[in-house]
Amino acid sequence: MEILKVPVGISNRHIHLSQEHIDALFGMGYSLTKMKDLSQHGQYACEETVTLIGPKGTIPGVRILGPARKASQVELARTDTYKLGVNPPVRDSGNLEGTPGIDIEGPKGLVHLEQGVIIATRHLHMSSEDAWKYSLKDGEYLRAIVPGPRGGVFGNVLVRVNPNYALDLHIDTDEANAFGLVNGQQLEVYSINDQFNVAR
């Protein structure tokens, strides 16, 4: 089988907001301003940022990703959580039940988010066509091999398939920095049952 190589996309801490929270933070009926498109179709980084306020510290300049979502969601790296004093679980995007909340400050107001803070599960976005080509299914897990002096293996890479997805392995800044990875770097990925026997 052809070896699958995928580009790394490094996610800095960011926030997705509901329209209700956009209104509360930026003023009623406010519309976010697109700064640049992201690799995933229809997703974009906004000009606007917010300040996160935790029990132990604050982080200003947290980028908003658009468009508005049904529920607000804050995605942090573990390093950020120590600074803020929150202890979110590792979760797939959208799976927010029982996650901690946080205070969010915008130019026009404050929002107390009841829940929605997570550390995102590392995941691989993939089109239906690529999934078919590489015999992979939505929801299965892969390993990604990292070469170099700080090399190793990322286990538990969740495959997310959608007709509109572009091939992109999303990791956070802690994961990138630990393994010395840069945006766009190509990594080989393998099914867990492939030639690697490192499951524990």
Q: Decide: residue 75, CB within 10 A, 0-12 exposed, 13-18 middle, 19+ buried.
A: buried
Task: Please tell me whether residue 196 adopts helix, strand or coil conformation.
Answer: coil
Q: Whose Cβ is closer to a second copy: residue 154's or residue 165's?
A: 154
| Beta strand ranges found along the chain (DSSP E) | 4-11, 14-16, 34-37, 44-53, 58-66, 73-75, 90-91, 102-106, 109-113, 117-120, 123-126, 141-146, 152-161, 168-172, 186-191
SS3 content of the chain, % helix, strand, coil (to 5): 15, 40, 45
Binder among 21, 123, 143, 160 for a second copy (CB under 8 A): 143
Binder among 31, 108, 112, 196 for a second copy (CB under 8 A): 196
Run of H or E including 180 = none
Report the nearest approach of a second copy to the CB of residue 143 (Å): 8
* C-alpha–C-alpha distance, residues 6 and 130, integer Å: 11
180 binding a second copy? (CB under 8 A) = yes
Q: Which of residues 82-101 bind a second copy (CB under 8 A)?
A: 82, 90
193 binding a second copy? (CB under 8 A) = no
122 binding a second copy? (CB under 8 A) = yes
Report the nearest approach of a second copy to the CB of residue 155 (Å): 4
Q: Whose Cβ is closer to a second copy: residue 33's or residue 186's?
A: 186
177 binding a second copy? (CB under 8 A) = yes
59 binding a second copy? (CB under 8 A) = no
Q: Which of residues 147-166 bind a second copy (CB under 8 A)?
A: 147, 149-156
Footprint of a second copy on this chain (CB under 8 A)?
Answer: 77-79, 82, 90, 119, 121-122, 143, 145-147, 149-156, 172-175, 177-180, 188, 195-198, 200
